[in-house]
Each structure stands twice: as structure tokens, then as C-alpha cells.
């Protein structure tokens, strides 16, 4: 029999029960081949085969998907909802073959897309949905104006800006999923702050140095004063710095920089590289 989504899931499940050994299903293929959709169907089938299948657990596993997709998927020329990261999903079963938990680990996120994307493609869905779904007040609180004003959005396909309804829907799904998996109002606020901060960070402009290895000058230093810009509370700032780590890559002309900012040493960790 040719590879079949449900058959592969059923065989893995059968072996778990009969041999009591871990089973791995590797889903590979070119972009748009159907890896993401197939994985969702296999998870659905694995949970369905559990003796007392828990709709609640299944719902939780499924509900995390829109969240992951919002942060890690983007429109490409091949796939409107292309996963720009890889994920490792681990399902745990008890002795009776009952699904008792799930862990999802993401890796290889295409971080460079945040700062530069093909003009026919999109940035990560989350940025469009933030502008389409967050209230005016929330956006003002993040010091954000209209989406079209930001490089992070302007670098991609501008037609996506017209799909407000779709992105508002995605935003609502995300907020709902966050609530269901236990995010409280504070966590939501932190999340919005982090997104706002990333958008502001990508607005930082550099003046190119005359010689190689000379430090670059930031043309608009106000953009780096994120705490002032966003009024990040201590708790929020802590999360932000942890999340950002050294991964905020900025690009200006043929230069790229990695900002390793900490609250105490705001500019100290700025490392710049010639591309
Ligand atoms: N089993 C399926 N049933 C219905 N539609 C499907 C199925 N598999 C794939 N598709 C269609 O193909 C599109 C691309 O599928 P999917 O996003 O799963 O591809 P992918 O291999 O994960 O791509 P990428 O590597 O770009 O993330 C989906 O948006 C959907 O329209």
C-alpha cells in the first residue's frame, strides 16, 4: 500500500501497543507537499485510536496549532500558510495506549524573515494579525500606528494588508488559543509588548561605516529606547530580554546587526557584521 496518512498513524500506534517501543514518524517533503496538514490528521487519528479518547486533550493539542502557525508560518509563493520552522511533536501514551500528553518543540525558525522577506511573500502571520486584530488602544499603547508604516510589513507583499478580515480572524483564534492553554491577561500583555518591541527594533536604521570593522552609527537612537517606547514593566522587560536574547537581527544595506541588549547595557552588546 502506498504511504497513507491514517495507515502510517495506525501502524505506529499498533507497534507502540505490541512492542512497547517508541515510534517515530518522519514527515518530509517539499514546501506545499502537505506535511503540516498530514501531521494534523495523524495526530487526530492517534488520539481517535486511544481507548478513552479525550476530546479535551485532542482539542488542546489541535488548538496550539493556530498559535504556532501564527508565529511561525508565513505566505510564500508556493504556500499561503508555509511553516517557516520545523517542529518535533511528542505524544505520550500510558500502558493502555491512552494518549496522556503532548509536547511540541520548535526549531530552525526562519528568523531572517522578520527583517527581510521577498516582495511576493509575507512576513510571519502574527504581525499582520496584530495590526488587524488588536484594538486601536492596544496599538497606541504599543506606540504603533498603521501597519503600512512599518518596514517589517512593507518589505513583503502589500496585498496582504487588504486581507484584514482573515487576519482579524487569525488574531481572535490566537487569543482564544492562548486563553485555553492558560495565558492570563498579564501574559497576553507581555506577548503584545514583545511583538511591538520587535516591530520597533526593526525600524532601527544604521549609517554605514566608512571602513570595515568600524562601529556603525544608529541614525534613529530613539528606536532603541524600547523600555521608554513601550513602557515595559520590569516583569515584561525581563520576558522581553529573555525572549530576544541575541536573536534580534537587524539589516541595513549590506550590514546586519545582532542586538544583544540587556536592560543595563543597552547598546553594549551591539555586534555588527558585513554581509
Ligand atoms: N490532506 C490534505 N487535505 C486537504 N488539503 C491539503 C492536504 N494536505 C495539503 N493540503 C493543501 O495543501 C496546502 C499546503 O499544505 P501544507 O501547509 O500542509 O504543506 P507543507 O508541506 O507543510 O508546506 P510547508 O513546507 O511550506 O510548510 C494546504 O494549505 C492545503 O490547502
Q: Which pLDDT tens digit goes with each residue over 170-225? A: 899 889 888 887 888 888 887 887 788 788 878 877 777 777 777 667 777 766 66
Q: How confident is the model at residue 22 (pLDDT cuts 50, 70, 90)?
A: very high
**73, 107, 141 - which closes a domain:** 107
Helical pair 234-244 and 185-201, crossing angle rounded to 10 deg: 50
Domain match, 10 and 74 both: yes
Q: How confident is the model at residue 1 (pLDDT cuts 50, 70, 90)?
A: low
**54 carries a ligand binding annotation:** no
Domain match, 169 and 65 both: no
The mean of the pLDDT values for the chain is 78
Residue minimizing CA distance to atom 25 of ligand 1: 31
pLDDT confidence of residue 210: 77
Which ipTM was obtained for this model? 0.97
**82, 107, 132 - which closes a domain:** 107
Domain match, 97 and 137 both: no
**37 carries a ligand binding annotation:** no
Q: What is the pTM of this model?
A: 0.81
**227 carries a ligand binding annotation:** no
The three grid cell numbers given for residue 262, joined into one nine-digit string: 540587556
Atom of ligand 1 nearest to the CA of 41: 1
Coil, strand or helix at 62: helix
> How many domains does one find in the chain?
2
Residue 149: domain span: 112-274
Domain match, 25 and 101 both: yes
| CA–centroid distance for 175 within its chain | 14
**Whether residue 235 has pLDDT greater than 70:** no
* Mutational pocket test of ligand 1: of 3, 31, 34, the residue with most ligand atoms within 8 Å of the beta carbon: 34
CATH code where residue 19 lies: 3.40.850.10
Domain match, 64 and 116 both: no
Q: What is the pLDDT of residues 96-109, one digit of tens each?
A: 898 888 888 888 88
User: Which residues line the pocket of ligand 1, CB cutoff 6 A?
Assistant: 29, 31-38, 79, 81-83
**Do residues 220 and 204 lie in contact, with contact meaning Cβ atoms separated by under 8 Å?**
yes
Domain match, 28 and 86 both: yes
pLDDT confidence of residue 224: 61
Q: Which residue pairs, CB below 8 angstroms and at least 24 apart, start in 97-100?
A: 97/13, 97/16, 97/17, 97/49, 97/50, 97/51, 98/50, 98/51, 98/52, 99/46, 99/47, 99/50, 99/53, 99/54, 99/57, 99/58, 100/57
- The rounded distance, in Å, linking the Cα atoms of 24 and 122 is 32
The three grid cell numbers given for residue 140, joined into one nine-digit string: 497606541
Amino acid at each position: 500500500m502506498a504511504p497513507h496518512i491514517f495507515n502510517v498513524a495506525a501502524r505506529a500506534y499498533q507497534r507502540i501497543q505490541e512492542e512497547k517501543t517508541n515510534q517515530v514518524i518522519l514527515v518530509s517533503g517539499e514546501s506545499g507537499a502537505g506535511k503540516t496538514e498530514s501531521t494534523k490528521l495523524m495526530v487526530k487519528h492517534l488520539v481517535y485510536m486511544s481507548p478513552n479518547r479525550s476530546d479535551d486533550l485532542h482539542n488542546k493539542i489541535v488548538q496550539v496549532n493556530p498559535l504556532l502557525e501564527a508565529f511561525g508560518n508565513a505566505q510564500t509563493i508556493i504556500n499561503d500558510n508555509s511553516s517557516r520552522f520545523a517542529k518535533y511533536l511528542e505524544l505520550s501514551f500510558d500502558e493502555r495506549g491512552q494518549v496522556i500528553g503532548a509536547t511540541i518543540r520548535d526549531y530552525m525558525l526562519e528568523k531572517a524573515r522578520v527583517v527581510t522577506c521577498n516582495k511576493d511573500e509575507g512576513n510571519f502571520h502574527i504581525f499582520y494579525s496584530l495590526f488587524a486584530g488588536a484594538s486601536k488602544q492596544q496599538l497606541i499603547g504599543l506606540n504603533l500606528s498603521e501597519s503600512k508604516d512599518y518596514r517589517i510589513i512593507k518589505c513583503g507583499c502589500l496585498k496582504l494588508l487588504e486581507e484584514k478580515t482573515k487576519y482579524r480572524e487569525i488574531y481572535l483564534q490566537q487569543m482564544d488559543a492562548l486563553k485555553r492553554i492558560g495565558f492570563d491577561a498579564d501574559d497576553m500583555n507581555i506577548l503584545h509588548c514583545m511583538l511591538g518591541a520587535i516591530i520597533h527594533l526593526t525600524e532601527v536604521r544604521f549609517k554605514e561605516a566608512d571602513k570595515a570593522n568600524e562601529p556603525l552609527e544608529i541614525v534613529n537612537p530613539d528606536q532603541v529606547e524600547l523600555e521608554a517606547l513601550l513602557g515595559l514593566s520590569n516583569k515584561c522587560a525581563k520576558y522581553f530580554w529573555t525572549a530576544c536574547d541575541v536573536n534580534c537581527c537587524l539589516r541595513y544595506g549590506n550590514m546586519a546587526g545582532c542586538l544583544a541588549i540587556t536592560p543595563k547595557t543597552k547598546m553594549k552588546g551591539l555586534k555588527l557584521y558585513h554581509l
